[in-house]
Structure 1
Amino acid sequence: MPDPSSLRDSTQIILPQQALCGLETQLDDEFTVTIFDENEEYCRIIGSPIEIKQVNDFLARHGVSLP
């Protein structure tokens, strides 16, 4: 049985909210993901492993460094 933390890592991205400034609309339009505001500092992007990989690539192209 797979480790739950490895599955969670492949289906979500947690970023500071400032990192997504101006990109949320594009993410919503281009990908099938859900963006949750965790608190005033962080947000969580949740989607399928394929979508999360594509979102990772998109964010990297737009200069967002991932933790």
Structure 2
Amino acid sequence: MATASRLRDSTQILLPADDIDGLGGALSDRFTVTIRDEGSQFRIIGSPVEIKQASAFLARNGIAIE
């Protein structure tokens, strides 16, 4: 059975606010995700498939995903 933390990890990405500068529009244009500004960080929320593709996109643009 899947745990809540594992499901959360597969459906969202948390990034410091500075990391997403200039890429927020590209993310929302290319992928079906919701991007929430939470002050000091951004939360990118989507299906596991979209999050995986968005994560690869961010990595190709030099943003490390932990």
User: Which TM-score applies when normalising by structure 1?
Assistant: 0.94
Report whether the alignment pairs 1:43 with 2:49.
no
* Count of aligned residue pairs for this structure pair: 66
* Fraction of identical pairs, as percent: 56
RMSD over aligned Cα atoms: 0.7
Taking the TM superposition and a 5 Å limit, the aligned residue runs for 1:22-61 are: 22-39=22-39, 41-61=40-60
Q: Structure 1: give runs of 5+ residues left out of the alignment.
A: none
Structure 2, unaligned runs of 5 or more? none
Report runs of 4+ in structure 1 exceeding 3 Å deviation.
Answer: none
Pair 1:4-2:4 in alignment: yes
